[in-house]
Amino acid sequence: MDQFATLILDVAVILFSLILLAGIVTVAVMYYVDKNQTAHTIRRNFPVLGRFRYFFEHMGEFFRQYFFAMDREELPFNRAQRSWAYRAAKDIDNTVAFGSSRDIHQPGAIIFLNTPYPTLKEDAVESPPLMIGPYCRTPFEAKSIFNISGMSYGALSKPAVLALSNGARKAGCWMNTGEGGVSSYHLEGGCDIVYQIGTAKYGVRDDQGQLSDEKLLHLAQIEQIRMFEIKLSQGAKPGKGGILPGEKVNAEISQIRGIPVGQDSISPNRHPEINSPQDLLDMIARVRRVTGKPVGIKFVLGSHEWLDQLMAEINHRGEASAPDFITLDGAEGGTGAAPMPLMDSVGLPLRQSLPLVVDMLKAFGLRDRIKVIASGKLMVPTNVAWAISVGADFCVTARGFMFALGCIQALQCNKNTCPSGVATHDPDLQEGLNPQDKAVRVHNYHKHMINEIGVIAHSCGAREPRELKRHHAQMVTENGLSENLASLYPGNYIPLREKN
């Protein structure tokens, strides 16, 4: 027994010595490489030790998220917002105790004005369906005030799209395809679909990359596809087309989009054939004529003169020529990969653009004709209720539903390394996302959102969310006092032709 123990000890000593030697050799090699390379100053000046800088830099965002950032500090979404979405998706108690951690004195904070006579339970009603596309052969009666914004299959994984489509059917809301085209996974869930036509026209392009009437007609024959949305720009990157890294472009994505396997999928920064309001209305008319279904446009507002000109042209042609809806995206970013200058510095945030667009529609007499869909960090009830009170008919979110799927805001969407399986085509990472389980969470998230928007509306004396108006809310200004939204956004837009 003593000999056996001695043998085990000798083997352990030898193994330890070998591991130690391998470690010393590895460090020596790293030291030599670092000292003789010229690309990284820190590694050259501090061989081996300098490598830890990159490790800590990479890990910093995770430590800040879980250990150092306060509940209301983090961007793009803070811990309090994410926690609300997670609890809603899991259908667990979403109440809080001991007061709010939100700084209600911070400029920009929205405060809804409660009434001493809130809506009684028996008087409350659900927001009724709204018809979109009165001049179409097949109008769409949209049931839900809150829906899933554009996220492409390719950017999202197969199980994520399956979970969203099944969850949307359960919730009774629509799902936007994003510019990547419609896949069998979108349709498998049985939900209502909004087909987005991006600048590369994926899924509706001919061999020359031009819009194909034949493919439009084929898609229009799919009953689930209820509307078509022509994307001019999006919140993550106004003025630049979509970006899908080549490592995500597999054979299936290639077939759906009509692009080569393994190559970066980069859309043009605009539709080449649209150069004027007339061109835009001509394309809307073409898609509506071929499909017979409602057609709208999506954009981030920057300068608004073009929109003024578009509305003037609509009135010249007649209101039947108008887009059936406008999806207004804020410059608050989004799920798409984008250059930082565009993400950070281009386009108006939704808080500035939404009231302006609504007021422009009123000034041109088009408010009832064109439905307004608001998009831009609308993933918690307060923000959605604000958008509705300002004038939105519908609200959509992408990242809110990503949190419902289990997104942890790891900021890996553009790298095919998403740890939650939402935005990756790595089969091992996708394995953790169960579509059946997550579809229930998508439904729960939607249910809680609708319920809590209603709670806000009822506290203000409205029977349902669309009865919320600007006078129901105030915004904290720079002097610390709040001002009524009806005063901040008085609705007095004057068309350019009248100014001139």
**What are the DSSP calls for 221-243, one per residue?**
TSTTEEEEEEES--TT-TTS--E
Is residue 239 in a domain?
Answer: yes
* % of the chain with per-residue pLDDT over 90: 50
Query: Residue 421: which CATH number?
Result: 3.20.20.70
26 and 142 fall within a common domain: no
Whole-number Å distance between alpha carbons of 233 and 353: 14
pLDDT of residue 245: 73
| Span of 150-154, 226-230, 451-455 with lowest mean pLDDT | 150-154
pLDDT at 53 over 80: no
Domain that holds residue 477: 121-499
What average pLDDT does the segment 152-173 reach? 91
Nearest CA among 103, 47, 171 for reference residue 447: 171
Is residue 92 in a domain?
Answer: no
Is residue 109 in a domain?
Answer: no
| Span of 17-31, 59-73, 76-90, 279-293 with lowest mean pLDDT | 59-73
pLDDT of residue 48: 84
pLDDT of residue 462: 95
Whole-number Å distance between alpha carbons of 490 and 470: 9
Tokens standing for residue 14? 């030898």
368 and 488 fall within a common domain: yes
Most confidently predicted of 167-181, 231-245, 260-274, 406-420: 167-181
Residue whose token pair is 């917002």: 81
- The backbone torsions φ and ψ at residue 200, rounded to the nearest 5 degrees and listed phi first, read -90, -5
Is residue 130 in a domain?
Answer: yes
pLDDT at 70 over 60: no
469 and 402 fall within a common domain: yes
Tokens standing for residue 285? 């008319």
Which residue, 32, 52, 68, sits at the end of a domain?
68
Residue type, 273: E
pLDDT of residue 347: 82
138 and 250 fall within a common domain: yes
Q: Report helix angle 435-459 to 79-90, nearest 10.
A: 110
255 and 334 fall within a common domain: yes
pLDDT of residue 144: 97
Q: Cα dihedral sign for 420, 423, 424, 430? A: positive
Which residue, 53, 68, 83, sits at the end of a domain?
68
pLDDT of residue 1: 53
Contacts of 267 (CB under 8 A, 6+ apart): 179, 198, 199, 200, 202, 241, 242, 243
Distances (CA, A) of 397 to 401, 402, 484: 7, 9, 26
DSSP 65: I
Is residue 439 in a domain?
Answer: yes
Tokens standing for residue 193? 């679909």
pLDDT of residue 46: 77
Residue whose token pair is 């608001």: 374
Is residue 401 in a domain?
Answer: yes
Cα dihedral 428→177→381→116 (10° resolution) = -150
For 383-398, the pLDDT digits (tens) are 999 999 999 999 999 9
For 366-383, the pLDDT digits (tens) are 999 999 999 988 989 999
Contact call for residues 220 and 292 (beta carbons, < 8 A): yes
Is residue 144 in a domain?
Answer: yes
| Span of 275-289, 405-419, 425-439 with lowest mean pLDDT | 405-419
pLDDT at 65 over 60: no
For 329-378, the pLDDT digits (tens) are 988 766 556 666 666 677 899 999 999 999 999 999 999 999 999 998 89
301 and 209 fall within a common domain: yes
pLDDT of residue 86: 82
pLDDT of residue 351: 93
Which residue, 27, 45, 68, sits at the end of a domain?
68
151 and 57 fall within a common domain: no
Tell me how many domains the chain contains: 2
Tokens standing for residue 218? 């084929």
294 and 368 fall within a common domain: yes
Q: What is the pTM of this model?
A: 0.85
Is residue 139 in a domain?
Answer: yes
pLDDT of residue 42: 66
What average pLDDT does the segment 464-486 reach? 94
pLDDT at 30 over 90: no
46 and 154 fall within a common domain: no
185 and 49 fall within a common domain: no
Residue type, 497: R
| Span of 11-15, 51-55, 223-227, 374-378 with lowest mean pLDDT | 51-55
Contact call for residues 346 and 239 (beta carbons, < 8 A): yes
pLDDT of residue 327: 97
Nearest CA among 92, 218, 202 for reference residue 153: 202
350 and 454 fall within a common domain: yes
Residues linked to residue 211 through DSSP beta bridges, in sequence order: 205
200 and 60 fall within a common domain: no
